[in-house]
Structure 1
Amino acid sequence: MSETIFSAAGFDERHAGPLYLQLQRRIAEAVATGQLGPGDSLPPERDMAAMTGLSRVTVRKAVEGLVAQGQLVQRRGSGTFVAPQVERLEQALSLLTSFTEDMARRGKSVESIWLSRALHVPSPEEVMALGLGAGDRVARIERVRRSDGVPLAIERASLPPDVLPDPAEVDTSLYAVLHLRGLRPVRAVQRISAANLSARDADLLGVASGAAGLKIERIGYLRSGRVVEFTRSLYRGDAYDFAVELKLPSDEERT
């Protein structure tokens, strides 16, 4: 199989674009058609260069491009592999739900890899978002959210200390804890933007550094209008689609 994919035949320096892109297309097609499956290893760089007749620089550039796209993964000391397939999830933007609730509706398991659960001195951004006073602390939780063993998002939530006096109380669902305290948000404002994942965040999500992600900032409010949640999340761009329903305004709304 490798002999076919990495054959020297078929490369055209004049009419088919740069050689590294031709090799990228050939590998990507092999993945798309199932010739290379999730977890399959690619030959070492020097072997691919020898088989294709291309330079190692060209082979390296082709592989690096596919790693950046999330189609291949490189493991230090092990080699280059076809990335595992990640099921794309569609998330409605019209419902104020938690990650745990979203996954439960799909019948999927949920796991948190905790990075931090503690009270901290707030940053200026947290002071502004939560309306904290001088000398206040902030409850901050940071974790990787996994579903069926696949890391999907990094969640960094900040809350006033009287809303969440003990961050270690959160085991699975933050909203479940807030509900028990009668302090679950009833509405929120969310902002979504594109982001390229830093090396640290990409490593936590199991993707290549610089891979595309979705940055979501949520500010949650009680019915009284008080802000009780300031959450910044990073979602894998290859795993999430966000959908919103649009309707024509009523006659009253048009006037």
Structure 2
Amino acid sequence: MNITAFLNPEQWLQQGGGPRYVQLHQRLSEGVAQGVLKTGHSLPPEREIATITQLSRVTVRKAIQALAEDGIIIQRQGSGSFVAHPTPQIDQSLSRLTSFSEDMARRGMTSSSIWLERGVFMPSPDEVLALALSQDASVARLARLRTADGRPMAIERASLSTQMLPDPMGVDTSLYDALEATGLRPVRALQRISALNLDEKNANLLEVAPGKAGLRIERTSYLTDGRIVEFTQSIYRADAYNFVAELRLAKE
């Protein structure tokens, strides 16, 4: 069925069936579920949908905004609206210290990175405190968008002393692989997880609507001798990650 026939209002629009934008939102959602609107393809322009459905453009715009808020479509400024790829659900253990690349490989998914920042810099006050640096030390920064099977999953911003990572440009796929090659892979870490609403910049990188829920994770990793290896601040898609911890009854 083509999109014009699918959106014919005689097939779905009902008097007394609730607000018209809600009914259109439901119909477009059904179109995605049934494959009439295919993953990665663009939606027809608002004007065209309004003509087909005999609804106002204000009604059409509200329905499309609701689809974006639900993560069903992605709105790209200047390009239009596109049907989003289904987001994989990942259960991430809190009891194992692994890299993003290792996590995805274990699930049979292909990980990749889009570099946002990489180099040696003067440390910020937060980095000085987190990494126990002297004021005249340098810090290696690695900021990247992490993807799984081509879908954006997380924004990672790692900071390390240049004693631990003298050349951040030498990191290819896995930071932990690069550290392991020099005998400096961390063996334990402390993590703090909190909720946030994604601002426009981070939401655009993760291909979700601004204001959607995200997870902020701060991690400090250590060597066996207690030295700090890395301080990482990451933002994860809340619709893609479930963090799982095993709890045991404490003995009195």
**How high is the TM-score relative to the length of structure 2?**
0.88
Which residue of structure 2 lines up, in the alignment, with residue 126 of structure 1?
127
Which residue of structure 1 lines up, in the alignment, with residue 89 of structure 2?
88
Residue 238 of structure 1 pairs with residue 239 of structure 2: yes
Confirm or deny: 8 A CA contact 1:122 1:136 kept in the other structure: yes
Q: 114-123 or 92-101, which moves further after superposition?
A: 114-123
Written as runs of structure 1 = structure 2, the 5 A alignment for 1:176-191 is: 176-191=177-192
Shift of residue 22, structure 1, vs aligned partner: 2.5
Shift of residue 100, structure 1, vs aligned partner: 1.3
Q: What secondary structure does 2:136 align onto?
A: coil
Written as runs of structure 1 = structure 2, the 5 A alignment for 1:1-255 is: 1=1, 2-3=3-4, 5-9=6-10, 10-11=12-13, 16=18, 18-249=19-250, 251=251, 255=252
Q: 39-48 or 2-11, which moves further after superposition?
A: 2-11
Residue type at the aligned position of 2:242:
D
Change in CA separation of 1:246 and 1:179 when aligned onto 2, cut-off 3 Å: same
Aligned residues: 250
Shift of residue 62, structure 1, vs aligned partner: 1.3
- Report percent identity of matched pairs: 54
Q: 1:27-69: CA deviations, max 9, x gaps?
A: 2233234443313432221122233232211211110121132
Shift of residue 110, structure 1, vs aligned partner: 2.5
Shift of residue 230, structure 1, vs aligned partner: 0.6
Q: What secondary structure does 1:95 align onto?
A: coil
Shift of residue 139, structure 1, vs aligned partner: 1.3
Q: What secondary structure does 2:184 align onto?
A: coil
Shift of residue 178, structure 1, vs aligned partner: 1.7
Residue type at the aligned position of 2:138:
R
Alignment RMSD, CA only? 2.2
- Cα distance in 2 for residues equivalent to 1:181 and 1:145: 24
Residue type at the aligned position of 1:54:
L
Shift of residue 102, structure 1, vs aligned partner: 0.9
Unpaired stretches in structure 2, ≥5 consecutive residues: none
- Cα distance in 1 for residues equivalent to 2:80 and 2:134: 52
Change in CA separation of 1:103 and 1:15 when aligned onto 2, cut-off 3 Å: closer
Change in CA separation of 1:196 and 1:135 when aligned onto 2, cut-off 3 Å: same
Q: 1:125-163: CA deviations, max 9, x gaps?
A: 111211112222211111122232222221100112211
